[in-house]
Structure 1
Amino acid sequence: MLANRLATGSRVAVVGGGIAGAGLAASLLFNGRARGLALDVRVYSGGMSDRTAPPAVLTPECRSRLAALGCRIPPEWRTHELRGIEVIAEGRRELLSSTPGGLWVVDGWPQGLGGLEQVRDVLATAASAQGARFLPRHVERVERQAPAPDAPASVRGAGSLVVRAQGSGDRFHAVALAAGAGPMMGDAFFKGFRPAPTVPAVQARLRHAAPRLELAPVARLWIAPLPTVDALFLLPGASSVYALAFGPAVTPADLCQVLMMAARDGLVEEGFELAALETTRLPYGPGRTLVAPGQLAVGPAAFGHPLQVGLSETLASCSRAAVALLDGGLDASTLERRYVREGLGELLEDSAAGARTLTWLRRAGARAPEAFIKAKGRRTLSGSFDGGVLGLSGPTPIALLGAARWEGLKALVGSWLRTTVEPVPSVVPELEPDLYYVVDDDPDAREAMTALLESTGAKVVSFADELALFCAVARRPPTAILLDVVLHWVDGLRLAEGLKQHPLTRHTRVLVMSGLNRPHVRQRALDAGAEAFLPKPVDPDRLLRILTGRAPLLPELEHAPTAPLPEEAPREHATDRYAS
C-alpha cells in the first residue's frame, strides 16, 4: 500500500445503506477499478427502515449520475413528470415551471416501494455487481486501534479502524458515514465529528377513499402556514400525496392541522386519510468537522437544507468522497483539502445559504413567492455544481437568499408604514341555519349528541376523524360546532384557534366539550376563541339554552347537571396532554 492511499485489497466500510451509502460504494468501486485497484467495500445497512417511504425526485443531473455509476434506469420511472412547483405564502402563489423532461417523480407506494427505496435498490444492485457486500448490521461506534505488533500479518494489514456492529468488530483502512440526517453517531464516529445540523420534520402519506386516475403534476411549497411550521411540501406520487412539514418546533399535530388548512384552501383534495405518519429530521446547513484520517461523512450527514429536493447533491458528494479517499484519504490534511475544500466547497456554501433562506422567506410573508421568481432570473457565479432549489435548474440557493433577504426587508419596512389588510375571499358561503357539526372520536358521546340535536329538528353532521373539519366548515358553514378537546390527530383547542384565524371560518360559533374540567383547560378554550366551555358529562338543557341564546355564556360550573349525556370513557393520554 502506498503511503496515505488506498491500494488493491484495501478494506473500506460504509455506515448506512441508503442512497448515500449505496452511491458511495458504487462510486468507490467504479473509480477504484478505473485506477486498476480492487477494493473490498462493505456496506452496513442495518437500521434503515422507513415506514413512510418517501418518493424520489430525479432531475436530469440525477439521472446522468445514476447512469454513470452503472445503474439501469427503468423506463416506467419517467411516467410521472412534474409540470412545476407552486410556491404559496399568505394567499399569493407563483408557479416555477420545470423544463420538459426535467423532474421525474419515482414512486410505487403503497402497492410497491417508495421512490427513495427504488433508487436505493438500483444503486445497491450496481454496487453489488461491482463487488460491494451489504451487511444488515447496525453500527454502534468506530474505534481507531492500531494492531498489536505481535498480531498475525492478516490482522496487521487489515487497517487501524475497527467498526463495532452488534457484537462484531471488523478492521478497515477507511470508514465513511452515510447514515442520512437522523441521529448521528457524533464522537462515536470520530472525536470532534460535527455533522450537518438538523431540523425536526414530520412526513406523511395522504390517500383518498375514491381512487383517482391521475394526480395533478404540480408539487407545492407553502411557506409558514403556521407559526411552528417553516414550510409544508406537497409532492404528488403515483397513487398518493407525500407531505412534509418542517420547523424548529414542528409536531405531528402541526402537520395534521396544516393539511386540514390545505384541504380548505384547495391545495389537496378533501376526503383524504393519513395512511402513514412519522417524525424525521432534515439537514439544515453544512457540517463543520467532516473528516479524520481515513474517515469522512457524505450526503445528508455532511450537508443539506430543506429546499434541496432531489438527489443530485447527495450523488455529487459520493463521487467526490470516492475520489478524495483514493487520492490520499488516509491523511487528514489531504482529505480535508481534496474532499472538503475542493470537493464540497460550493455544496457547503449552498447548504448554508439554503438554511438561512428559510428565515428570510418567513419574514418576507406574502412576498416570498415573488422572491423565487426574481431569484430565478438572476445569474450567479457558480462552481462545477450548479444545482437550484426544489430540484429545479434555478434559482440557486445563493440567488434565492439574496432575493428573500431583500423581500423580507421590504416586508418589514412596509409593516412600519401601513397596517396590513387581510384579504377576504371573493366568495364566502352563507351560513346554513340549524346545521350543527359534532366532532368527537368517542362513538357513544358522538351518537348521544347527534340524537339530542336532531330531536330539536336540527341537521347534524358528525365527525369521528377531525381531518375533514376545516374543509367542511369553509364550504358549508354550520350554525355551530361542538368540539371535543381530546381527538386523534389534533386537539380541539388547536382546531378552535385554527378556525378563528381564517376569514372563511372565524365567525363560526365553537363550543368546546371536555371531561378535563380544569381551570387552565377551560381558560385555554376561551382564549382559543370558543364561545363556551362545556364540561363532560354535558348537561343537555344547558347546551340547548346556550345554542338558542337563552343562557349566560359562562354559567357557574358548580351547578350539577340533572340529565347528563353519556360521559366518554377515560383515556390515559388526555391527562398527560393537559396536566398542569
Structure 2
Amino acid sequence: MSGDRLVSGSRVAVVGGGIAGAGLAASLMFNGRARGVSLDVRVYAQGEPDSVPPPVVLTPECRSRLAALGCRVPLDWRVHELRGVEVIAEGRRELLPAPAGGLWVVDNWPHGPGGMSVVREALTTAATAQGARFISRRVDRVEHQPPSPDAPAPVRNSGPLVVRAQGSGERFHAVALATGTGSSLAESFFPDFQPAPTVAAVHARVRQSASRLSLAPLARLWLSPLPTIDGLFLLPSAHSVYVLAFGPLVTPADLCQALMMAARDGLLEEGFELSALETTRLPFGPGRTLVAPGQLAVGPAAVGHPLQIGLSETLATCSRAAVGLLDGGLSTAALERRYVRNGLSEMMEDAAAGARSVAWLRRAGRRAPEAFLAARKRGAVGGVYSGGVLGLAAPTPLALLASARWAGLREVVGSWLRTTVEPVPTAMPSLEPDLYYVVDDDPDAREAMTQLLESTGATVVAFADELALFCAVARRPPTAILLDVVLHWVDGLRLCEGLKKHPLTRNTRVLVMSGLDRPHVRQGALDAGAEAFLPKPVEPRQLMQALLGEGLDAPRPALRPADVSAGLEPDRYAAS
C-alpha cells in the first residue's frame, strides 16, 4: 500500500452483481489500468432472479457511459424507441419530447430476458474481459479486522476488511456496496451506515393480446391516479408494458386498480393480461453516511429518486467511486472529499430535489403536467454530473421542484375557491346482469361454487387470484363478486374495500366468504363494504338469498328462488 491509495495488487470486493456492481468492477479495472495499477477485483453476485424482469431505457448519455466502460452497445438493443414521455394528471396531458439521440427501450421479454438482465450481462462480460472475477455467494456482513503483526505476510498484505459470505471469509483492502435498494446490509456493512432512503413500490408486466403493441411509442407518467399512488409509470416495449407504481402506502391491489383506470382511459389496449407482479423499493433521496475507511456505497443504495429513467446516475456513481477508491480509498476523510463532496454532491442535490418534487406534484393536481413544461422552459441548467428527470436533458430536478412548488401552491389556493366534484369516468362499461365472478385460491372451492352458480343458468368466471379479477372487471363489470378472504397478494377485506371505493365497481355487490366464521371477520367484511358475509362451506340457500339482493339498489341477478330447489339439494356446497 502507498499511504491512502490503492496500488497494484490491492484487493477490492464489490457486493452485488447487478448493473451497479458490474459497472463499478468495469470502472475500477479501466481506471486502474489508466493509472498503471493492477487490481484484484472480486464481485459477489448475490441475489435472486427478477420475478418481474424490468426493461432498461438507454438515454444518449447512458450509451456513452456504457461505451466508456468497454461495454458494447449493439444496434439490436434498439428494439423499441420512445418518442417522448407523456405526463398525465386529472385528465390533463403534456408531452415531453425525447432527446435528439432518442430513448432506447432494451427488452426481450417475454421471449427472452428483460432489459435489465441484458445490460447487466453486457457489463459483466466487459468487467470479466478486463480481469474482474464474479463469485456467486451471498454476503452476510463486512468486518473491519486488521491482521495482527504476528500474522503471516500474505495475511498482513491482504487488507483489513473481511467479507463474510455463506460461511467463508476473505480479506480485502476496500469493499463497495452495490446491492441497490433491495439489500443494504444496514450496519452489517459498517457502523452508522445510512444508505439512500426508499419508498414503497409495486411493479408488474402487462402482456397485450396483439403480437405487437399498437400504442404510440410513449412512456407515460400518471401522477396521483389513486390516493395511495404518487406516480404510475407505463413503459411500453415491443411486446409488453412494464408498469411501476410508487407511493408510501402503495399495495398490489392499488396497482391493479390503477390498471383498471388505465384501460378505461385508453392507456392500455383491450385484452391485456397481468403476467407478473412484485413489491419492491425505490431510492427516495441521497444517503447521509456513505463512506468509511475503504468502504463506500454506489448506485441506488447511495442516491436516487423515483423520477429517474435510465442508468446515467447509477453509472456516474460507479465512475466517481472508482476514482475515489483509487485516489484515497483507505481514508474516510479522503473518500468523503473525493467521492461524496466532489463526486456526488450534484447528484445528491438532484436526488433530494427529485424526491421533494413528488410531494409538490401531488399537491399540484391538474397543474402538475404544466409544471413539467414550465420547468423545461428554464433549460437544462445543471452541473457536469447533473441530469434531467424522466431520461430527458430538461427539466432538471431543481427546476422541476421550483415549478412544482409554485403549481402546488396555486392549486391549493384555487381549491379554496371552487367546489370539489368527483370526476366521473368517461367510458364506463355496461353491467352484465347474468355475470358472476368467483375469486378463491382453493381450486376445489372454486370449482364447486362455479358449478353451483352455473346450475342456475348464470355465467360464471372463476379466478385463482385477485390480479386476474382486476383485469376482467375493467372490461366486464359483473352483477356480483364472490370473494374469499385469504388471497395471494392482498387479503379479501382490503380488496373488497378497494372495489367499493373504485368508480367502476362501487355499485357491484361483493359477497365475502371465509372458513373463519368469527364476529370480527364478519364485521370486518361489512365494514369493508360487503353486502353479505358467507361462512364456508357455503350453504346454497343462504347464497341464493344473498345474491337476490333484497333491499339493495343494484340490479337483480338472473337467479330465481325456484332455482334453489331445482337440483341444489345438498345442504352444503363448496368446501374449504
2:236 alignment partner AA: P
Report if aligned partners of 1:515, 1:567 keep a CA contact under 8 Å in 2.
no
2:137 alignment partner AA: R
Q: 1:240 to 1:94 in 2, by over 3 A?
A: same
Moved more, 355-364 or 538-547: 538-547
1:285 alignment partner AA: G
Shift of 1:51: 2.7
Matched length: 561
Deviations 1:427-462 (A, max 9, x none): 445545x433232335666566666666666x5242
Q: Is residue 569 of structure 1 aligned with residue 568 of structure 2?
A: no
Q: 1:544 to 1:59 in 2, by over 3 A?
A: same
What secondary structure is seen at the aligned counterpart in 2 of 1:344? helix
Shift of 1:342: 0.8
Aligned position for 1:363: 363
Q: 1:307 to 1:569 in 2, by over 3 A?
A: farther
- The aligned runs of 1:325-404 (5 Å cut-off) are 325-379=325-379, 381-404=381-404
Moved more, 34-43 or 83-92: 83-92
Find the aligned partners of 1:415 and 1:526 in 2 and give their Cα distance: 34
Aligned position for 1:578: none
Find the aligned partners of 1:71 and 1:353 in 2 and give their Cα distance: 31
Report if aligned partners of 1:444, 1:566 keep a CA contact under 8 Å in 2.
no
Shift of 1:552: 8.2
Report if aligned partners of 1:144, 1:161 keep a CA contact under 8 Å in 2.
yes
Find the aligned partners of 1:48 and 1:517 in 2 and give their Cα distance: 39
- The aligned runs of 1:230-245 (5 Å cut-off) are 230-245=230-245
Q: Is residue 220 of structure 1 aligned with residue 220 of structure 2?
A: yes
Report if aligned partners of 2:235, 2:243 keep a CA contact under 8 Å in 1.
yes
Shift of 1:548: 5.2
Report if aligned partners of 2:538, 2:574 keep a CA contact under 8 Å in 1.
no
Q: Is residue 73 of structure 1 aligned with residue 73 of structure 2?
A: yes
What secondary structure is seen at the aligned counterpart in 1 of 2:14? strand
Shift of 1:275: 2.7
Shift of 1:264: 3.5
- The aligned runs of 1:394-543 (5 Å cut-off) are 394-432=394-432, 434-441=433-440, 460-464=459-463, 466-467=466-467, 469=469, 472-473=472-473, 475-538=475-538, 540-541=540-541
What secondary structure is seen at the aligned counterpart in 1 of 2:308? coil
Find the aligned partners of 2:136 and 2:547 in 1 and give their Cα distance: 61
Deviations 1:469-527 (A, max 9, x none): 55655555555545454445455444444444344443444444444444444444444
Moved more, 287-296 or 274-283: 274-283
Aligned position for 1:15: 15
Report if aligned partners of 2:253, 2:495 keep a CA contact under 8 Å in 1.
no
Aligned position for 1:573: none
Moved more, 332-341 or 96-105: 96-105
Aligned position for 2:108: 108
Find the aligned partners of 1:487 and 1:166 in 2 and give their Cα distance: 34
Shift of 1:319: 0.7
Find the aligned partners of 1:243 and 1:389 in 2 and give their Cα distance: 18
2:463 alignment partner AA: A
Find the aligned partners of 1:58 and 1:176 in 2 and give their Cα distance: 25
2:575 alignment partner AA: A
Q: 1:153 to 1:396 in 2, by over 3 A?
A: same
- The aligned runs of 1:104-143 (5 Å cut-off) are 104-143=104-143
Report if aligned partners of 1:290, 1:297 keep a CA contact under 8 Å in 2.
yes
What secondary structure is seen at the aligned counterpart in 2 of 1:343? helix
Q: Which runs of 5+ in 1 are unaligned?
A: 554-560, 571-580
Aligned position for 1:154: 154
Q: 1:528 to 1:88 in 2, by over 3 A?
A: farther
Find the aligned partners of 1:211 and 1:141 in 2 and give their Cα distance: 46
1:241 alignment partner AA: V
Q: Which runs of 5+ in 2 are unaligned?
A: 554-563
Percent pairwise identity: 72
Report if aligned partners of 1:436, 1:481 keep a CA contact under 8 Å in 2.
no
2:366 alignment partner AA: A
1:35 alignment partner AA: R
Shift of 1:98: 1.2
Q: 1:390 to 1:567 in 2, by over 3 A?
A: farther
Aligned position for 1:187: 187
2:41 alignment partner AA: V
Find the aligned partners of 1:482 and 1:158 in 2 and give their Cα distance: 64
Report if aligned partners of 2:438, 2:450 keep a CA contact under 8 Å in 1.
no
Report if aligned partners of 2:213, 2:238 keep a CA contact under 8 Å in 1.
no
Shift of 1:565: 7.0
Deviations 1:229-253 (A, max 9, x none): 3222222234222222222233333
Find the aligned partners of 2:513 and 2:270 in 1 and give their Cα distance: 26
Find the aligned partners of 2:546 and 2:524 in 1 and give their Cα distance: 19
Moved more, 538-547 or 267-276: 538-547
Find the aligned partners of 1:178 and 1:541 in 2 and give their Cα distance: 60
2:99 alignment partner AA: T
Report if aligned partners of 1:256, 1:490 keep a CA contact under 8 Å in 2.
no
- The aligned runs of 1:236-315 (5 Å cut-off) are 236-315=236-315
What secondary structure is seen at the aligned counterpart in 2 of 1:169? strand
Aligned position for 2:44: 44
Q: 1:349 to 1:481 in 2, by over 3 A?
A: same
Find the aligned partners of 1:480 and 1:144 in 2 and give their Cα distance: 62
Find the aligned partners of 1:533 and 1:566 in 2 and give their Cα distance: 16
Report if aligned partners of 1:62, 1:311 keep a CA contact under 8 Å in 2.
yes
Report if aligned partners of 2:448, 2:574 keep a CA contact under 8 Å in 1.
no
Q: TM (normalized to structure 2)?
A: 0.88
Deviations 1:187-206 (A, max 9, x none): 22222211111222222222
Shift of 1:108: 1.6
Deviations 1:380-418 (A, max 9, x none): 642102311121222211112222222222222223222
Report if aligned partners of 2:381, 2:396 keep a CA contact under 8 Å in 1.
no
Aligned position for 2:163: 163
Q: TM (normalized to structure 1)?
A: 0.87
Moved more, 170-179 or 419-428: 419-428
Find the aligned partners of 1:391 and 1:228 in 2 and give their Cα distance: 25
Report if aligned partners of 1:90, 1:365 keep a CA contact under 8 Å in 2.
yes
What secondary structure is seen at the aligned counterpart in 1 of 2:196? coil
Shift of 1:81: 0.8
Moved more, 517-526 or 179-188: 517-526
Q: 1:366 to 1:162 in 2, by over 3 A?
A: same
Report if aligned partners of 2:453, 2:460 keep a CA contact under 8 Å in 1.
no
